[in-house]
Amino acid sequence: MGKASHGNFFEDFAIGQEIVHAVPRTITQGDVALYSALYGMRFALQSSDAFAQACSLPRAPIDNLLLFHVIFGKTVPDVSLNAVANLGYAECRFLEPAWPGDSFTARSTVIGLRENANGKTGIVYVRSMGFNQRGDAVLTFVRWVMVNKRDAAAPAPEVVVPLTDAQVNGEALALPPGLDFSTYDAAVAGSAYRFEDYAVGERIDHIDGMTIEEAEHQIATRLYQNTAKGHFDAVLQKAGRFGRRIVYGGHVISLARSLSFNGLANGCLVAAINGGRHVNAAAGGDTIYCWSEILAKQDFPERHDIGALRVRTIATKDLACDTFPSPGGEAEASVLLDLDYWLLMPRSVS
């Protein structure tokens, strides 16, 4: 009796609390293949060892978002098992390349708390970090999540809302050691458009849609060992806020990323996530479309083969993006995701 965990509720968190998350995770080539099958990921650098080696890497790296989801999943049993919703991200930086066969652990620090006006839930802010088997930090990010209270009568903590940077400094983006795009084969990668071909303010309709199947989003979430109840327990969710299981927000991020290949095929590495929020929840049966806007461009001193694009991608459900719907507009109810991130992209080398 009493050995099973019910997870942490809002009143269980304290500012400065350090959490070591359980269950180390080795990402295998099988995980990579399943990730590709779930999302249709087609970026050449992650798809082919030969292509990666032509770019002076030892082999195809693990997709940055697969790494993000695995580290995120480690945090769920301790941070968001009793969540109403994951609300947003900031200051996400990919620090080191990750390779099939690497093993990962995660730790988090509570950096903010704010009880909601209804007294039944509160917002928990954490900074999480992922480490490989050598103890090298591979990923860091801040996220905030709405968590249920165990006891509505429990006193509210002092309000602490952390200040986060509006964006990751483009000059500080980590470039994978050895990466060289000077002989990048754009024809094989699937697009002629390189860094110079994109203009700040340009908008790209990615055109294609992908429907979320119930089985697929649950398989994906299990792949990351994400145990959040809202994604799996149909009986429990009948009495919940949405009346049904909802899709893990990261599933929508990866779908949008894969769909963005049509227009951003050479944006092969996500270097950082400046910020993001899940505007509305998704459910099985929703069809995802997306569009992107180029927000900024970053040159790197003494690197003539590579640049970075700051991109904002909006994902919608059941609404094609030829009119570029965005949060706050008439299509607000159809917008699922608003994500701001940096992409590494090859330059034209003369």
Segment among 149-158, 235-244, 315-324, 339-348 with least mean pLDDT: 235-244
Query: How many other CB atoms are found less than 10 A from the CB of residue 313?
Result: 23
State how many domains the chain has: 1
Q: Quick one: pLDDT band at residue 219, thresholds 50, 70, 90?
A: very high
Q: Is residue 181 part of a domain?
A: yes
Q: Is residue 157 part of a domain?
A: no
Q: Model-level pTM?
A: 0.95
Q: Is residue 4 part of a domain?
A: no
Residue 217 backbone phi and psi in degrees, to 5: -70, -30
Q: Is residue 5 part of a domain?
A: no
Residue 240 has pLDDT above 80, yes or no: no
Residue 350 has pLDDT above 70, yes or no: no
Query: Rounded distance, CA 202 to CA 45, Å?
Result: 25
* Residue range 82-104, pLDDT digits in tens: 888 888 899 999 999 999 999 99
Q: Is residue 2 part of a domain?
A: no
Residue with tokens 């990261």: 250
CA 160 to chain centre: 25
294-311 average pLDDT score: 95
113-118 average pLDDT score: 95
Residue with tokens 């019910």: 6
Residue 37 backbone phi and psi in degrees, to 5: -65, -35
Q: Is residue 159 part of a domain?
A: no
Q: Quick one: pLDDT band at residue 290, thresholds 50, 70, 90?
A: very high
Q: Is residue 252 part of a domain?
A: yes
The HSE-up count of residue 85 (CA atoms within 13 Å, CB side) is 14
CA 38 to chain centre: 15
Residue 47 backbone phi and psi in degrees, to 5: -95, -20
Residue 335 has pLDDT above 70, yes or no: yes
Q: What percent of the chain stands above pLDDT 70?
A: 99
CATH code assigned at 80: 3.10.129.10
Over the Cα atoms of the chain, what is R_g? 20
Range of the domain at 94: 10-152+166-346
pLDDT at residue number 1: 56
Strands (E), 183-268: 203-205, 210-211
Q: Is residue 219 part of a domain?
A: yes
CA nearest neighbour of 343 among 290, 255, 288, 264: 264
Query: Rounded distance, CA 206 to CA 120, Å?
Result: 40
239-255 average pLDDT score: 88
